[in-house]
Structure formats: structure tokens, C-alpha cells
């Protein structure tokens, strides 16, 4: 047992935390999966390494899974921390409820009890940009408009509307999603090309300036549709137009600057 | 229309013949078959339900509220709540809509011959019972005492007001209407109190009696123990379940309670049956 | 029905004839490293036969993700209805399905016909010919042998092709529809013997199949499930479930659907589309009341429906052991693992 | 301009704010300025209230071009609705372009209540440009598509 597993087992045993969400070995050696530890024994199963890619922050807003009392520990990757911080900024989770923990390279456990410590940790551990994603976006950007339309039309015609992209995203926490509204029925609820495209446009627009770029939407898609390119592209646009700084409260689209560009408005 | 294949999702086209505003947000539609041949072949029994279409909005499930003893039309009573019920509410007399049915099982009325009948209903749940009540009243001599206890939130929320008056005036029906505390008007002559409490007060005899209970889950929950106290056996208590459904024909996968499909094995269940089912309703 | 042999190298020629006959052919196609069923127009588009399985099942041939139930037209107060003619459904060939795909049509047909007959599904299925290829490999998610299937199982196939080590393929024709497909390329086939249990051909076929020992039996599962409704296992297994519909949509036997409206002013269509019991809104009443209010109760429904209710009511098991749900699950809910743990409780 | 394009009458949907552009369009009429009749106006309280989905719905319903117009910056009846809208359109345009949706078909304008003549001008200009682009068939094709399993759709 790693030292950090032992530390977490102790926290569960002495009641410092009522539940710990982390990762365990998955079905195949290539993957891990989320694990809910309710007791010290289960903490032995916790792992943390490069295979841990699920964004566990998605569970932080699911009240039915969380004990009513006590703190909840999360053995988190940087992507999880980023999403958790965003959730705090959007007032979706209270600061003291979760004890986020990062595991360092030598198995050192760092406790990040509040938003400020999260901010500092995230700043100190910048994630490299994924060159594959950047290359794909460049490839699509280089296409003619007609080619881009053909590309996305073909790609999104395959979508089966399982909403795994929505379910896996920590920031898709609406209790009633636009696709479930039927008065009016904004987006037709079955899987076919146009409603699929409209669904993605909605998902992505609602992520504007909020997306932390973790790629959970893409990882969750059973058809491996590159929908993360849409959020990534949007983030690029926002960075270019409005800078990389995000408002501390609210989001890019709930604010404005009188100097925003308007070369497209006549 | 030529039915190319027997398509179980293809509704009958019905004409809205009469619209009655029963209570705020609650309407009864009387529907007649557009095609007389379909009317001729149409049969149903008390307790069965159907799928009602407002074309352009979708389909919705309600019981058939008119009795099978009244031929030539069917009626449904519904509260306007979502997209489809709003669409149905917008229909005007003479307009056409869809109807798919009848589906589900029935109240075993034939087995009730010679017995006393106790109806306990709350709010918008009188419609499934109304079908049985009129069926019974149309064949009044075959049954014993008929007692109806009907409660609603307020006086305005009572449905079938004319029929309630008619039942009240009949010497062969005991009718108790009640409204929740605070729901009464100054000239309200009925009872004030929740339906289970009124049931306890009226205390009908369980002797040779069948109880039919329909209402919101909370009313059913509190009525069952009262009936038990009054001596009703579990197989003498009938109710209907109202799980969400889309197809009505045992395929879409929504309405099952354990291994039973409400749309096929229900909607009518005895309390004895419910005792053996998981609480998925 | 007859058995034939065909050279491996002639399989593409046969497929070409099938395409030339004007059938809609869907077959495994590999794009960006992922293989799934797609409509094809040439044998060259078909993926190399080295993958265990496609992402989605073959059910889409008879149960598309969205289809028209009927259309309506309003004129004044009147409404007229029209419905799809079964003749308009395309004659479809599913090329290189797996035996577990073919097996899925038995429970699907049971659901669509156990009481009322769903003739839309039936008409599509009647126009679908399944050419399954025996599995030469299995992966960590496969468990067909635990639920009554097998890598060389013919049930549900119109034709089962087994590539033999000899360079020939054994073509077992199971139905008239299958025979019609073989008849499109008579020159490519030579007749083969019946595959009796003790024949050399049987032994040769067995030698070409993936080895997959059964891990449990359907009966074990069903026996345990009879007492399991209130078990804590549902919550334990479903804690990480995200409540998406991936498992249901890739499943060869999941048939739960939604009925929706496609209005365009005075005319429109009623649509049937795939739905999933994992969605919270699946059973939610208009009032907000939900008979299956948590992910744990929805996971329980999924397992009980497939392994308890369907066997009891429809005499069919809602699982062919294809493992697609486990492969598709974003959080690695492994059905084989979960069933094994239920069977061992 | 070839014959086909001349015969094509673009269908333009205009989403406008109540306080500036709608009043401006009203002024166009009362000033008896003649302009293209291809436009159908949908009035909103504010450009900030125009959901991006409405633009997509307009295309799906058969629009060949879209006009979005409201108060000039600093003239918003609700102080900042048009600023919020402007920011939303910046982001939205970027996304649509990446998806290959033809952003040349969506025209944004500021038209005040006093600019009746400008309204006539922007409509005429939009109609001319959309006429040049031709009907937006590639979007309509997708809108009416449901499945490839029926012969009728082949």
C-alpha cells in the first residue's frame, strides 16, 4: 500500500472525510475508473497515475451520491481541480464541503482545502496543450467552408444522442437541460443530423468561457466523435477576442467590454 | 385510409364533439370516430386506457372516462399540465384528433355482481372511476349499495359537477363529497377534510363490499390503512397505477413495476397484487 | 438448409454481387481507428477482419435510431394520416455481423411481438439479411458463452461464415433469405457437407473459433436476481454511473424507445427514437414524481429487465454477451464483472 | 447576375429590438421609403434577448439569410443588452464558421429609431448579397433529413 493510500485510509477511519472519490484499476490494464471509497479498506484500491483521465468533478454536483454529513475527499488530477474550482466560482459547490487532494510524483498527498489553494496549485501545475487537438483544429481551419460543413455533417450524423458528452462534463450540471424542454422544443429529441448539430452548438455555447478543456466529453463519446474540438476552438476564439483571463465570478458571456470588436456589425 | 400494415402506433381519427370545462385547467373531451366503421367495431371495458394525440404536440395517456354502456363516443378528462395536454386543451369542438386504444386490463365488474361497491377518489382520479360508476348505474339492479367518497383540493377543483349533483340526488347512491381544509366556499354543503379522514368518518361496512380507490399517491397511501381497519381484505381493494408510458402496448419499456407492465397487466391492480410488487410506482 | 464453401479471396467478389444487386449494405468500416457499421458501396470500404466488434450493434437494420411511425396533415378541422409503406424500407444486408449481433434479434423480436405485433419492426426485419462471421477472437468484455451464445453460433443468422484455416470459408445458410444471397454468386460457392457434431468439418470449424469459457450461467443470474431487488449491490455497482445512454444505444437487445412529434406547421410526422432506462426523465411523471428516482434504481431496472423480467415474461434473455455496453461505458461499468459478482453472491 | 439568381427571391428573417430597429423600420414605412419585401421581422425587447437558437431555427425553417439588428452601442434601452449581444455574436460566429455554417448569411446591424433610411438600405443590401449567394439549400437538406433507411430519402 502506498503511503498516500494509508493516509486516506486513516482519514476515512477517523472520520476526517465521510467519502473519498478517486480512481481504481479498470477492466483492462490500460485503464482506470472512478471509485467511491466509503471505508478504509476500499482506500487500498485507490490508484493515481497517467491513466487517470476521468473528470471526477462531475460527481461533486450529484447530491444523491454524496453523504449528507461530513466532508468528501477527492483524489484529483489537475483537470479535476480546474473543474472543481470552476464549480466553486459558479456557486455550485460550497468551498468547505470537499477536500480536494493531489498526489505528487513521489506519492506525496497535497490537501487543497479551499479555492485559493486550488488556484495556486493549478497555476503551479500548468497542463501542456495537446498537440493532436491543436493540429486537428488547424486542419479543419484550413478547409474551405463547404468542406468544414461536410466534415461536421458527416461526423455528427453518427451521433446517437446518448448524451454521454453531457453526462461526463462536470460543468453540464443543469437539472433540466435545454434538450429536455419541450415547450418550446428547441432541439428535436431524436438522433438525426440537424438536431445533433444543434445539440452540439448548444452544448458548446453554454460552455463558452467555462470549459476547462479536460476533454471528458470526447473521452465519454462511445462513437469517438471529436466534439472536444468544438469547445477547444471556442476557447481559442474567446482567448483571442477577450484575453485568457476569466472573470472571477460569472463567465465570459455574462459580462462585456465596451471595446469588444464590432467589425462584423454594420 | 388504407391501412397498409397493421400499425399499432397509427391512431383512429376522432372528432371532438363536446368540450366541458370541469374545473380550472381540467377539461372533458367527448370524441366520436370519424370513420363510422371504426366506431362500429370499437369495444372497450371499464378501466382501460388509451393514447390521445394532439397532432403536432404528441400523445398522452389517460383512462377512458366514459362507460362502455354508452355507445358511439368516448370521453377523456385531463388536467392541462404539459405540452400534449396543452395541445388537447387548445382543440375546439369539431376539430380532429387521434385516439389509440383501448389498452390494458379492466375492472372485474362482472365479478362484483351482487356486491356493495365503495368508490374512493381524489381530485383528477375520478375519471377512471366514473367509467365504472356509470357502468354500474346503467345496470343498477345487478349491484348492492353504491357509496362514493370523492375529495378535491377545493370546491372549484371538483370535476363532473353536474354528475355529482345527479348522483347526490339518486336515492340508490350514497355520495360524500369533501374538499381539503381551506378549499371550501361559504355555501359548501359537503364535507371538509382529507379524503382518507372522511373515509374513516363515513366508515362503510366491509361486509360483501369491494373498494375501488383512485387518487394521488399520498391519498392512496393513507386510504389503504383505513380500509384495512374497516375490515377490507387486500383482494377486495382495487386501484389503478399511472406510470409514465409512451406505446401503451408493452414495448417502450417505461411503465413496468417489477416484471409487470402497467400498460398490459394493469392499470387495474388489487392491493393484494401491489403487496407483491416492488415500489416502482 | 445448405452449406457451402467459398475461398477467403472470393468473399469480396460475393459482397460485390450483393452490392450490385441493389441492396443497402451495412458493414464494419474503420475510421480514425474505430470500427462501426456504416453503409458501404464497395468491398474496399469494409474494415479488415481483425477487430472483435463494431461499436454499435446491428439492431439499427430493423430498429433505426429514428423512424417515422406515421405522418399527418391538417386541413381546417380535419386530419388525414398516412404511414410508411413497408415496400419503401430498403432491402438491407448486414455484412460481417457477429453471432452475438444475430442473437440479439431473438430478444428484439420477442419484445416487438410478445403481445401486440410491431409490424414496422417486423417489416424491416423481413427485409434484412444478416451475414454473420464467426468470431476468431474475443476480448476481455466478451461473454456470449455465459448467456447461451457462442463464437460460432448460428441462431438468428441468415448466413454464418466461418473462415477456416484451410483458406476456405464455411458458409452455413440458415434461412431462405440467406439462400437468396448465396444465389447471387453461384459460381463462387461449392457445396459442403452438413456440419454434424462428429464430422471433420465440425472439428475444423471449432478450431477456427475464439476460445471463451463460460463464466456463469443465465440460470445462476436469474436465481440470484429473484431475491436481489433490495440488495445494496445496485448502489455499489452504479455509483460511478453517469446516467448517459451509451450502454443502451450500443446494445443489440435494448429496445426501449420514445415517441416524439416532428411538426412542420400543418403537417408533420410521429417519430419513434431510441431511449434509455438510464435517463432520469425516462420514467418521470409530469408532476415530477419519479418511480425510479436514483441512478441505482435505474441500473437495477436495466439488469433485472434483461436477466429476470424478460426471461420470465418473454422467454428471452436481454443480453447476448457482446460486451458492447462495457466497451462503450465512459466510466468502465463492466457488465461481465458485475454479473459475475452477482452470480457469486 | 445569371438568370437563376435573378429568379431566386431570398427569404430573410430579421430579428430586431423593439426600441431602436423596430422603430426605425416603422419610420422607413411612415417615410414611404420603398425597399425589398423579402424580409420578415421578428420583434424582441432587446438584442440581448435574441437566443442564438433562433438563428439556427430560422435557417432550419427555410431562411436564406438573417438580419440581427438593434440599438447602437450606448443606446440600449436596457443599458447593456446590445453589448452582451455583441459579445455573444462574436463567440457564436466563430463557432458557426468552424462548423462550416455560412456566416455570410447572417448580417448584423445597428439601426436606430431615427434611421429609417438606413433600414431600407440594410435590407436591400442583405437581399442583394443573399441573392448572390443563392438559396441556403445545404442547410435545408440537413433539416429535412431523418434516416437513410427508407427509399424515399435516397
**What interface predicted TM-score (ipTM) does this complex get?**
0.93
Residues of C with CB under 8 A from a CB of A: 32-34, 36, 55-56, 65-66, 140-141, 239-240, 242-246, 248-250, 258, 260-262, 271, 273-274, 276, 279, 281, 294-295, 326, 328, 330-332, 334, 337
**Do residues B159 and B140 lie in contact, with contact meaning Cβ atoms separated by under 8 Å?**
no
Strands (E), chain C: 3-7, 24-31, 34-40, 66-75, 78-82, 92-97, 128-133, 159-163, 168-173, 190-192, 257-264, 267-274
What mean pLDDT value characterizes chain C? 94
* Residue A177, Cβ density class (10 Å: 0-12 exposed, 13-18 middle, ≥19 buried): middle
Neighbours of B183 (CB within 10 A): 17
Q: For residue B264, give every residue at least 6 positions away whose Cβ sits within 8 Å of its Cβ, in sequence order, or none.
A: B103, B104, B105, B249, B250, C115
User: Of B57, B75, B103, which residue sits at a domain end?
Assistant: B103
What local confidence, expressed as pLDDT, does residue B2 receive?
A: 39
Hey, which residues does C325 pair with through a beta bridge?
none
Confidence of residue C119 (pLDDT cuts 50, 70, 90): very high
Domain span at C153: 3-343
Confidence of residue D1 (pLDDT cuts 50, 70, 90): very low
d(CA A1, CA A107): 11
Please indicate, yes or no, whether residues B226 and B132 belong to a single structural domain of this protein: yes
Q: Which three cell numbers stand for residue C190?
A: 461449392
Q: What residues in D contact C92, CB-CB < 8 Å?
A: 149
Residue C262: closest CA among chain A residues belongs to which residue? Answer: A188
Please indicate, yes or no, whether residues B72 and B152 belong to a single structural domain of this protein: no
pLDDT exceeds 60 at position C95? yes
Task: Say if the Cβ atoms of C244 and A168 lie within 8 Å.
Answer: yes
Residue D60: closest CA among chain A residues belongs to which residue? Answer: A194
User: Of B103, B124, B153, which residue sits at a domain end?
Assistant: B103
Q: Which chains touch A (3 or more CB pairs under 8 A)?
A: B, C, D
pLDDT exceeds 80 at position C7? yes
Tens-digit pLDDT profile for residues A22-74: 999 999 999 999 999 999 999 999 999 999 999 999 999 999 999 999 999 99
How long is chain B? 281
Please indicate, yes or no, whether residues B168 and B225 belong to a single structural domain of this protein: yes
* D positions 93-112 inside 8 Å of A (CB): 93-102, 107-110
Domain span at B98: 12-103
Instruction: Tell me the C-alpha to C-alpha distance, in Å, between residue B184 and each of B169, B238, C170.
Output: 21, 29, 81
D122 touches chain A (CB under 8 A): yes
Please indicate, yes or no, whether residues B146 and B212 belong to a single structural domain of this protein: yes
d(CA B106, CA B104): 7
Task: Say if the Cβ atoms of A190 and C295 lie within 8 Å.
Answer: no
User: Of B103, B128, B154, which residue sits at a domain end?
Assistant: B103
Phi, psi of C174 (to 5 degrees): -110, -20
Among the listed residues C215, C218, C213, C214, the one whose alpha carbon sits nearest the alpha carbon of residue C303: C218
Task: Name the residue among B10, B13, B251 with its Cβ closest to that of C112.
Answer: B251
Q: Which three cell numbers stand for residue B226?
A: 383505513
Please indicate, yes or no, whether residues B67 and B96 belong to a single structural domain of this protein: yes
Lowest-pLDDT choice from A40-44, C220-224, D22-26: C220-224
Task: Say if the Cβ atoms of D91 and A261 lie within 8 Å.
Answer: no
Q: Which three cell numbers stand for residue A184?
A: 418550446
Confidence of residue A1 (pLDDT cuts 50, 70, 90): low
**Do residues C63 and C108 lie in contact, with contact meaning Cβ atoms separated by under 8 Å?**
yes
Please indicate, yes or no, whether residues B146 and B216 belong to a single structural domain of this protein: yes
Please indicate, yes or no, whether residues B153 and B93 belong to a single structural domain of this protein: no
Residue C250: closest CA among chain A residues belongs to which residue? Answer: A222
Residue C78: closest CA among chain B residues belongs to which residue? Answer: B96
Please indicate, yes or no, whether residues B51 and B114 belong to a single structural domain of this protein: no
d(CA B200, CA D13): 64
Hey, which residues does A24 pair with through a beta bridge?
A33
Q: For residue C333, give every residue at least 6 positions away whose Cβ sits within 8 Å of its Cβ, in sequence order, or none.
A: C237, C238, C240, C241, C247, C325, C326
Inter-chain contacts counted by CB atoms under 8 A, chains A and B: 6
Cis peptide before A184 (omega within 30 of 0): yes
Q: What residues in C contact A31, CB-CB < 8 Å?
A: 332
First to last CA, chain D: 33
pLDDT exceeds 90 at position A148? yes
CATH code, domain with B72: 2.40.30.10
Residue D101: closest CA among chain A residues belongs to which residue? Answer: A149
Residues of D with CB under 8 A from a CB of C: 146-152, 154
Q: Which residues of chain B have pLDDT under 70?
A: 1-5
Task: Say if the Cβ atoms of A166 and C244 lie within 8 Å.
Answer: yes
Q: Give one word for C21, left, alpha or beta, with left for phi > 0 and alpha for psi -120 to 50.
A: alpha
* D with A: touching (≥3 Cβ pairs within 8 Å): yes
Task: Say if the Cβ atoms of C90 and D146 lie within 8 Å.
Answer: no
Residue D142: closest CA among chain A residues belongs to which residue? Answer: A194
What local confidence, expressed as pLDDT, does residue B276 receive?
A: 92
What local confidence, expressed as pLDDT, does residue D146 receive?
A: 60
pLDDT exceeds 60 at position D5? no
d(CA A263, CA B5): 59
Q: Is the overall model pTM greater than 0.90, yes or no?
A: yes
* Residue keyed to cell 437513410: D148
Number of domains in chain C: 1
What local confidence, expressed as pLDDT, does residue A215 receive?
A: 95
Hey, which residues does A35 pair with through a beta bridge?
A22
Please indicate, yes or no, whether residues B113 and B236 belong to a single structural domain of this protein: yes
Tens-digit pLDDT profile for residues A214-265: 999 999 999 999 999 999 999 999 999 999 988 877 789 999 999 898 889 8
pLDDT exceeds 80 at position C195? no
What local confidence, expressed as pLDDT, does residue D15 receive?
A: 98
Q: Which three cell numbers stand for residue B60?
A: 398522452
C89, C254, C257, C259, best to mutate vs chain B, most B CBs in 10 Å = C259
Among the listed residues A44, A92, A98, A45, the one whose alpha carbon sits nearest the alpha carbon of residue A76: A98
Hey, which residues does A230 pair with through a beta bridge?
none
Among the listed residues B230, B227, B240, the one whose alpha carbon sits nearest the alpha carbon of residue B273: B240
Please indicate, yes or no, whether residues B225 and B118 belong to a single structural domain of this protein: yes
What local confidence, expressed as pLDDT, does residue D32 receive?
A: 96
What local confidence, expressed as pLDDT, does residue B136 receive?
A: 94
Q: How far is CA D101 from the centre of its chain?
A: 14
Tens-digit pLDDT profile for residues B138-150: 999 999 999 999 9
Number of domains in chain B: 2
Residue C63: closest CA among chain D residues belongs to which residue? Answer: D149
Domains parsed from chain D with CATH numbers: 10-153 (3.40.50)
Q: Specify the DSSP class assigned to residue C112.
A: H
What local confidence, expressed as pLDDT, does residue A246 receive?
A: 86
Task: Say if the Cβ atoms of C141 and A36 lie within 8 Å.
Answer: no
Domain range summary for chain A, segments of one domain joined by +? 3-124, 131-254
pLDDT exceeds 90 at position C202? no
What local confidence, expressed as pLDDT, does residue C136 receive?
A: 95
Strands (E), chain D: 12-17, 39-44, 65-70, 106-110
Please indicate, yes or no, whether residues B186 and B65 belong to a single structural domain of this protein: no
What mean pLDDT value characterizes chain A? 94
d(CA C53, CA C11): 19
What local confidence, expressed as pLDDT, does residue C1 receive?
A: 77
CATH code, domain with B218: 3.40.50.80
What local confidence, expressed as pLDDT, does residue C340 receive?
A: 92
Lowest-pLDDT choice from A211-215, D84-88, D138-142: D138-142
Confidence of residue D91 (pLDDT cuts 50, 70, 90): very high
Q: How far is B122 from chain C (nearest CA, A)?
A: 15
What local confidence, expressed as pLDDT, does residue D147 receive?
A: 53
Rounded mean pLDDT of D25-36?
96
* D with B: touching (≥3 Cβ pairs within 8 Å): no
Tens-digit pLDDT profile for residues A108-121: 999 999 999 999 99
Amino acid at each position: 500500500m502506498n503511503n498516500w493510500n494509508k493516509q486516506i485510509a486513516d482519514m476515512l477511519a477517523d472520520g476526517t472525510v465521510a467519502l473519498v472519490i478517486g480512481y481504481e484499476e479498470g477492466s483492462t490494464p490500460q485503464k482506470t475508473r472512478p471509485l467511491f471509497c466509503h471505508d478504509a479498506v476500499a482506500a487500498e484500491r485507490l490508484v493515481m497515475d497517467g491513466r487517470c483521465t476521468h473528470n471526477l468533478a462531475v460527481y461533486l454536483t450529484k447530491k444523491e451520491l454524496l453523504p449528507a454529513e461530513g466532508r468528501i475527499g477527492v483524489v484529483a488530477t489537475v483537470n479535476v481541480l480546474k473543474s472543481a474550482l470552476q464549480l466553486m466560482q459558479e456557486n455550485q459547490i460550497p468551498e468547505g464541503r470537499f477536500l480536494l487532494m493531489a498526489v505528487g510524483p513521489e506519492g506525496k498527498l497535497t490537501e487543497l482545502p479551499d479555492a485559493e489553494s486550488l488556484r495556486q496549485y493549478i497555476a503551479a501545475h500548468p497542463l501542456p496543450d495537446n498537440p493532436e487537438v491543436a493540429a486537428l483544429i488547424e486542419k479543419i481551419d484550413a478547409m474551405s467552408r463547404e468542406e468544414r460543413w461536410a466534415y461536421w455533417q458527416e461526423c455528427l450524423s453518427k451521433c446517437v444522442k446518448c448524451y454521454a458528452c453531457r453526462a461526463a462534463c462536470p460543468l453540464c450540471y443543469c437539472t433540466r437541460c435545454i434538450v429536455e424542454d419541450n415547450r418550446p422544443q428547441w432541439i428535436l429529441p431524436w438522433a438525426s443530423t440537424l438536431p445533433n448539430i444543434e445539440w452540439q452548438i448548444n452544448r458548446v455555447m453554454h460552455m463558452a468561457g467555462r470549459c476547462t478543456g479536460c476533454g471528458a466529453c470526447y473521452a465519454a463519446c462511445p462513437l469517438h466523435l471529436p466534439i472536444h474540438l468544438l469547445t477547444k476552438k471556442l476557447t481559442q476564439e474567446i482567448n483571442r477576442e477577450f484575453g485568457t483571463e476569466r472573470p472571477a465570478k460569472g463567465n465570459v458571456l455574462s459580462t462585456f467590454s465596451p471595446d469588444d470588436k464590432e467589425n462584423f456589425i454594420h | 385510409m388504407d391501412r397498409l400494415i397493421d400499425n399499432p402506433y397509427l391512431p383512429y381519427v376522432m372528432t371532438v364533439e363536446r368540450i366541458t370545462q370541469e374545473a380550472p385547467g381540467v377539461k372533458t373531451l367527448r370524441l366520436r370516430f370519424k370513420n363510422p366503421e371504426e366506431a362500429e367495431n370499437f369495444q372497450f371495458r371499464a378501466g382501460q386506457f388509451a393514447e390521445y394525440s394532439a397532432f403536432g404536440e404528441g400523445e398522452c395517456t389517460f383512462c377512458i372516462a366514459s362507460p362502455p354502456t354508452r355507445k358511439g363516443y368516448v370521453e377523456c378528462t385531463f388536467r392541462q399540465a404539459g405540452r400534449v395536454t396543452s395541445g388537447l386543451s387548445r382543440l375546439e369542438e369539431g376539430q380532429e384528433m387521434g385516439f389509440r386504444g383501448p389498452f390494458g386490463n379492466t375492472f372485474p365488474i362482472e365479478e362484483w355482481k351482487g356486491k356493495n361497491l365503495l368508490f374512493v377518489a381524489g381530485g383528477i382520479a375520478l375519471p377512471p372511476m366514473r367509467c365504472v360508476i356509470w357502468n354500474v348505474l346503467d345496470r343498477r339492479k345487478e349491484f348492492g349499495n353504491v357509496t362514493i367518497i370523492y375529495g378535491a383540493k377545493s370546491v372549484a377543483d371538483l370535476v363532473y359537477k353536474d354528475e355529482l349533483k345527479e348522483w347526490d340526488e339518486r336515492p340508490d347512491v350514497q355520495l360524500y363529497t369533501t374538499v381539503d381544509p381551506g378549499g371550501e366556499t361559504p355555501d359548501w354543503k359537503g364535507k371538509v377534510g382529507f379524503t382518507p379522514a372522511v373515509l374513516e368518518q363515513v366508515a362503510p361496512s366491509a361486509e360483501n363490499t369491494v373498494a375501488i380507490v383512485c387518487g394521488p399517491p399520498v391519498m392512496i397511501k393513507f386510504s389503504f390503512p383505513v380500509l384495512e381497519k374497516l375490515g377490507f381484505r387486500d383482494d377486495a381493494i382495487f386501484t389503478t397505477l399511472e406510470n409514465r408510458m409512451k406505446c401503451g402496448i408493452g414495448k417502450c419499456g417505461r411503465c413496468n413495476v417489477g416484471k409487470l407492465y402497467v400498460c398490459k397487466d394493469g392499470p387495474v391492480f388489487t392491493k393484494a397484487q401491489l403487496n407483491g410488487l416492488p415500489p416502482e410506482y | 438448409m445448405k452449406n457451402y464453401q467459398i475461398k477467403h479471396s472470393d468473399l469480396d467478389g460475393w459482397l460485390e454481387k450483393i452490392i450490385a444487386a441493389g441492396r443497402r449494405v451495412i458493414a464494419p468500416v474503420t475510421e480514425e481507428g474505430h470500427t462501426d457499421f456504416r453503409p458501404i458501396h464497395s468491398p474496399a470500404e469494409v474494415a479488415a477482419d481483425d477487430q472483435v466488434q463494431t461499436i454499435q450493434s446491428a439492431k439499427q437494420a430493423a430498429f433505426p435510431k429514428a423512424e417515422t411511425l406515421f405522418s399527418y396533415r391538417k386541413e381546417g378541422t380535419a386530419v388525414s394520416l398516412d404511414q410508411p409503406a413497408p415496400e419503401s424500407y430498403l432491402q438491407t444486408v448486414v455484412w460481417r455481423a457477429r453471432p452475438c449481433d444475430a442473437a440479439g434479434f431473438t430478444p428484439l423480436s420477442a419484445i416487438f411481438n410478445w403481445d401486440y405485433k410491431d409490424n414496422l419492426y417486423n417489416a424491416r426485419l423481413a427485409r434484412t439479411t444478416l451475414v454473420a462471421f464467426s468470431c476468431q477472437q474475443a476480448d476481455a468484455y466478451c461473454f456470449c458463452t455465459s448467456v447461451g451464445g457462442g463464437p460460432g453460433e448460428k441462431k438468428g443468422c441468415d448466413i454464418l461464415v466461418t473462415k477456416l484455416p484451410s483458406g476456405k470459408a464455411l458458409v452455413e445458410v440458415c434461412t431462405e433469405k440467406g439462400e437468396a444471397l448465396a444465389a447471387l454468386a453461384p459460381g463462387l460457392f461449392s457445396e459442403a457437407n452438413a456440419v454434424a457434431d462428429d464430422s471433420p468439418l465440425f472439428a475444423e470449424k471449432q478450431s477456427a473459433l475464439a476460445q471463451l469459457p463460460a463464466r456463469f450461467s443465465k440460470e445462476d443470474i436469474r436465481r440470484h436476481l429473484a431475491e436481489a431487488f433490495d440488495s445494496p449491490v445496485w448502489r455499489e455497482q452504479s455509483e460511478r454511473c453517469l446516467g448517459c445512454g451509451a450502454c443502451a444505444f450500443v446494445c443489440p437487445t435494448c429496445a426501449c424507445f420514445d415517441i416524439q412529434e416532428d411538426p412542420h406547421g400543418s403537417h408533420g410526422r410521429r417519430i419513434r427514437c431510441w431511449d434509455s432506462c438510464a435517463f432520469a426523465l425516462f420514467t418521470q411523471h409530469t408532476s415530477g414524481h419519479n418511480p425510479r428516482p436514483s441512478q441505482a434504481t435505474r441500473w437495477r431496472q436495466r439488469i433485472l429487465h434483461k436477466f429476470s423480467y424478460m426471461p420470465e415474461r418473454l422467454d428471452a434473455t436481454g443480453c447476448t454477451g457482446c460486451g458492447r455496453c462495457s466497451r462503450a461505458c465512459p466510466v468502465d461499468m463492466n457488465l461481465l464483472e458485475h454479473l459475475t459478482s452477482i452470480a457469486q453472491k | 447576375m445569371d438568370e437563376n439568381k435573378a429568379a431566386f427571391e431570398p427569404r430573410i428573417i430579421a430579428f430586431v429590438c423593439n426600441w431602436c430597429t423596430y422603430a426605425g423600420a416603422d419610420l422607413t414605412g411612415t417615410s414611404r421609403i420603398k425597399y425589398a419585401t423579402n424580409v420578415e421581422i421578428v420583434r424582441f425587447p432587446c438584442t440581448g434577448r435574441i437566443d442564438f437558437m433562433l438563428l439556427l431555427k430560422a435557417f432550419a425553417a427555410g431562411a436564406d439569410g438573417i438580419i440581427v439588428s438593434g440599438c447602437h452601442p450606448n443606446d440600449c434601452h436596457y443599458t447593456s443588452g446590445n453589448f452582451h449581444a455583441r459579445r455573444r455574436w462574436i463567440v457564436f460566429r466563430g463557432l458557426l464558421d468552424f462548423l462550416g455554417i455560412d456566416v455570410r448569411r447572417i448580417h448584423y446591424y445597428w439601426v436606430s429609431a431615427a434611421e429609417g433610411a438606413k433600414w431600407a438600405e440594410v435590407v436591400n443590401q442583405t437581399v442583394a448579397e443573399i441573392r448572390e449567394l443563392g438559396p441556403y439549400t445545404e442547410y435545408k437538406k440537413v433539416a429535412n433529413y431523418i434516416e437513410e433507411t427508407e427509399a424515399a430519402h435516397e
